[in-house]
Structure 1
Amino acid sequence: MTQHRIYTTSVASVYKHYVAKAERKGRTKAEVDEVILWLTGYSAAELEGRLAAMTDFETFFAQAPALNPARSEIKGVVCGVRVEEVADPLMREIRYLDKLIDELAKGRPMTKILRLPAAAPAS
């Protein structure tokens, strides 16, 4: 079986498109970074290093310090495919990231994008 081309594509080459998409919709590079850091567990400095090193997606996710366990709550369709039904683990991680960027660009609040628990109502 041949490996999908995205696996060997550098994250940096796609990252600029993530940022452009978010900025077109009034969001920021800092929010894109926050989403990526939440998903992968990288620090801001580690992310910058990975981007500068032109790390490919396969290595980027394989070496992620702490993939967020809440990522399994990411549901929906991206590129015509339900992310929760993607069988290949690496492709699923990439689709999770794509879905988070889509949610960001659609104006969804960061608390919902990052699957943070709802704040308890004040008594």
Structure 2
Amino acid sequence: MTDAEKPIAEKPAKVKRTQSVFTLLVQVGRKEGDGLPDKATGAGLMIYASGVDEAEAVRETVAILKEADLAVLEVEGLGTIEEREAAGDEIDGEERKLMGRALAENSVIVAQMTPFYD
């Protein structure tokens, strides 16, 4: 059998991993050009980030925040909407809308920023 006669091996089908939206609490410190209020020592951010898993959502979030000149100190994952509801969290309509937007746009959305002061 010549090479031309050999059957072509098909590539295995790629498994499409579904995206989820993860709620992340991010603590940032000060860095020149970060846009935080002058007397703030840092800030806490509530973020909705899409990803195939929480690790991907965290990596994407940290990369975007660094691009915005924010000094990321700590990231805490609160889970997906289903995980949060199972834990007893109440999720209002506005929060659901922002989560839906993060999923539809495959994006990172800062839902809330709270500056910290000494």
Range class of TM-score, shorter chain: 0.3 to 0.5
TM-score normalised according to structure 2 size: 0.35
Q: Which has the larger radius of gyration?
A: 2
Higher strand share: 2
Higher helix share: 1
TM-score normalised according to structure 1 size: 0.34
